Chains A and B, each alone.
Chain A
Amino acid sequence: MHHMNGAELTIALLERQGITTISGIPGGTNLPLYTALSHSKRIRHVLARHEQGAGFIAQGMARSTGQAAVCFATSGPGATNLLTAIADAKLDSTPIVCITGQVHSDMIGTDAFQEVDIYGMSIPITKHNFQVRSAAELLEVIPQAFELALSGRPGPVLVDIPKDVQTEILEFADWPVPGQATAIAPCNARALENAARMIAAAKRPILYLGGGVVSADAGDAACTLAENNDIPMVTTMMALGAIRSDHPLNLGMFGMHGSKKTNLLMQEADLLIVAGARFDDRATGKIAEFCPQANVIHIDIDASEIHKLRSAHIGVLGDVGEALTRLNDQLPQQSRPEWIDQAKEARRDTSTVVALTGKDQIRPFELIRDIAKHVGEQAFIATDVGQHQMWTAQHYPFCRSRHWLTSGGLGTMGFGLPTAIGAALANPDNPVVCFSGDGSFLMNIQELATLAQEQLNVKIILLDNQALGLVRQQQSLFYDNRLFASEFANAIDFVAIAKGFGIKAVSLKTNNDSMLAYTLRQPGPCLIHVPIDRREMVFPMVPPGAANTTMLEGECHACA
């Protein structure tokens, strides 16, 4: 018989799940868990400085590996601080297991100190959640939490454990089997046959790849389908990295800040093969006018996505990788020379290469390309949210699945730094670059302390325009240039602040490639502060609510 308390059992079950790192912050109601964790020889605790940071650190581990990652928070404010990171994980289908302390069971419902109904609050933003009622229940709940987080379309799971459950002594005979992703039912053969026929009959097909292709590791299968059948590929922001950006059939990102020629070419498609994507409005623009002539084959693991926003002529429910592989087996090679010529022309799009400033000054798109050159293909790229994120999405030469870490569905400022920390913890041999903005960076800047403590190889590129740039851009384009609450009046000395946290920091005021290369090569964390012109904009841009054919374009001053 095994004999232990609920907290020790929880830690043992996490060890048996293969968890090696947990981020979190202790407090009154999770102290038994922390005491048990302090005895663990297999799990390392990373002390975050804010629970939202802990949540995003877990996301960084999960997004970069595809494995479920764990974070801890205490009840009340600790738990509510996690919520944004959980909502973010839900919208981007990221498997995290959040374990919160809760007040003693007898005090639940009495407005006890640091009691909040985190169970109720997290229902809308988790894939599933639990409140544990006895230590014995942990034997089921913990494996189930992992199974749910990882199975089918991944997502966040919250487990709320009252303090008395953590201290309750339990005797039990057998360990449960660790939770893992359940097997996925094979795709319907008839649907695949119909899809193959529809593809063979199409004249202007496009393969539309979403984040599900990353989750399913289906990039290679997508490329094979494209190559064998002369089908150009386009990606959502979430699918960047699923296929190499230099693949000759990759037309890059489409949508609000996608390339113009790609958006326009899509309008001509007679067939969309949508793989692991969900017709998000940032991608489709005004959906009634999105690819109006196209038939739709929609492949997704989540049945509720098929027909949700655009009805599909053929729905294929199942694993995207399996579906694409089986399509490849069925389809003979086919060439579509004219369509491919048009697609290759779209690849020569330069609508994203814009800058106000001249060549002698630092221009965001060039800086991003230079950094990619210096850090190489091994690097993980995290971003915050804003113009800097869009420039990175447009210009970084992505080439690997799971190396692009960005907040897509929720668009959460503050995502970048803690997520980069999580990626670095899970991938200690790879460099991690975090592109951040001066607004976003302030939202989780306290995690610089975590970074300093862990001494991880994270390089922060802070594009400082002294503005909430993307908001400023919208005001200047769509609100009569009425700039309000989108510019920061006071400059912040980010270099001094980083140094105050014990992080090396430099300011890059002019183009200096050798200094950039040198700084990026140094081991350990570093902040590279880059002042840029606040009038720089992200172009092209589809105005919110407009069709993807309506694109505002910028001018480039002496762009190559």
Chain B
Amino acid sequence: MPVPDTRRETVLELRVNNHPGVMSHVVGLFARRRYNVEAILCLPVDDGAQSDIWLLVNESDRLSQIISQVEKLADVRTVVRHAEDSCLFAGLRQQMYGGGELKESA
């Protein structure tokens, strides 16, 4: 049984310029500063000129430092920090896995 994660989760919502390298700029930053990204969602907006990226991360005292690093990325337009997962990722999980654990398909 995996130990349930009791840490608070936060969702970061990023508006970024959409081009082939932007995802690696964003997720690379988290990896480099050893901050785990639990879940990620990305959708093009504005006719594909920009994208919205939602990142599900655990709260920690280093989070504001990471956010100020993200804000420095030239392709990142805005960063919004949501207090909790406003059912975005939970809803997605529900949709895909029916609320339970991921079932391995035969």
Q: How far is the CA of A303 from the CA of B64 in the complex (A)?
A: 11
Q: Which B residues lie within 8 Å of A302 (CB)?
A: 72
B68–A127 contact, CB under 8 A? no
- Name B65's closest neighbour in chain A (CB-CB): A308
Given contacts A124-B32, A128-B74, whether A304 and B68 have CB atoms under 8 Å apart is yes
Q: Which of B1-31 contact A (CB under 8 A)?
A: 20-21, 24-25, 28
Q: Which B residues lie within 8 Å of A127 (CB)?
A: 74
Is there a chain A Cβ closer than 8 Å to B94's Cβ?
no
Is there a chain A Cβ closer than 8 Å to B59's Cβ?
no
Q: Which B residues lie within 8 Å of A131 (CB)?
A: 20-21
Is there a chain B Cβ closer than 8 Å to A307's Cβ?
yes
Give the number of chain A interface residues (Cβ < 8 Å): 14
With most chain A CB atoms within 10 A of its CB, the pick from B28, B32, B64, B72 is B72
Q: Which of A67-123 contact B (CB under 8 A)?
A: 119-120, 123
Q: How far is the CA of A308 from the CA of B67 in the complex (A)?
A: 11
Given contacts A304-B65, A307-B65, A308-B65, whether A120 and B24 have CB atoms under 8 Å apart is yes
Q: Which B residues lie within 8 Å of A303 (CB)?
A: 68, 71-72
Q: Which A residues lie within 8 Å of B74 (CB)?
A: 127-128, 148
Is there a chain A Cβ closer than 8 Å to B78's Cβ?
no
A304–B69 contact, CB under 8 A? yes
Total number of A-B contacts with CB less than 8 angstroms?
Answer: 29
- Name A131's closest neighbour in chain B (CB-CB): B21
A124–B72 contact, CB under 8 A? no
Partner of A123, one of B20, B28, B69: B28
A123–B65 contact, CB under 8 A? no
Q: Which A residues lie within 8 Å of B21 (CB)?
A: 119-120, 123, 129, 131
Q: How far is the CA of A148 from the CA of B17 in the complex (A)?
A: 15
Q: How far is the CA of A148 from the CA of B75 in the complex (A)?
A: 11
Q: Which B residues lie within 8 Å of A304 (CB)?
A: 65, 68-69, 71-72
Q: How far is the CA of A304 from the CA of B67 in the complex (A)?
A: 8
B72–A307 contact, CB under 8 A? no
Q: Which of A127-167 contact B (CB under 8 A)?
A: 127-129, 131, 148
Give A144 Cβ to nearest chain B Cβ, in Å. Answer: 8
Q: How far is the CA of A127 from the CA of B65 in the complex (A)?
A: 17
A123–B64 contact, CB under 8 A? no
Q: How far is the CA of A129 from the CA of B73 in the complex (A)?
A: 10
Q: How far is the CA of A380 from the CA of B70 in the complex (A)?
A: 36
Q: Which B residues lie within 8 Å of A123 (CB)?
A: 21, 24-25, 28
- Name B28's closest neighbour in chain A (CB-CB): A123
Give B32 Cβ to nearest chain A Cβ, in Å. Answer: 6
Give A412 Cβ to nearest chain B Cβ, in Å. Answer: 19
Q: How far is the CA of A124 from the CA of B69 in the complex (A)?
A: 12
* Additional 15 contacts, C-beta under 8 A, given A131-B21, A304-B69, A304-B71: A119-B21, A120-B21, A120-B24, A123-B24, A123-B25, A123-B28, A124-B32, A127-B74, A128-B75, A148-B74, A302-B72, A303-B72, A304-B72, A307-B64, A307-B65
**4 pairs of A and B residues whose beta carbons are closest in the complex:** A304-B68, A128-B74, A303-B68, A304-B69
B residues neighboring A (CB under 8 Å): 20-21, 24-25, 28, 32, 64-65, 68-69, 71-75
Q: Mind listing 5 A-B residue pairs with CB under 8 Å?
A: A123-B24, A129-B21, A302-B72, A303-B71, A304-B72
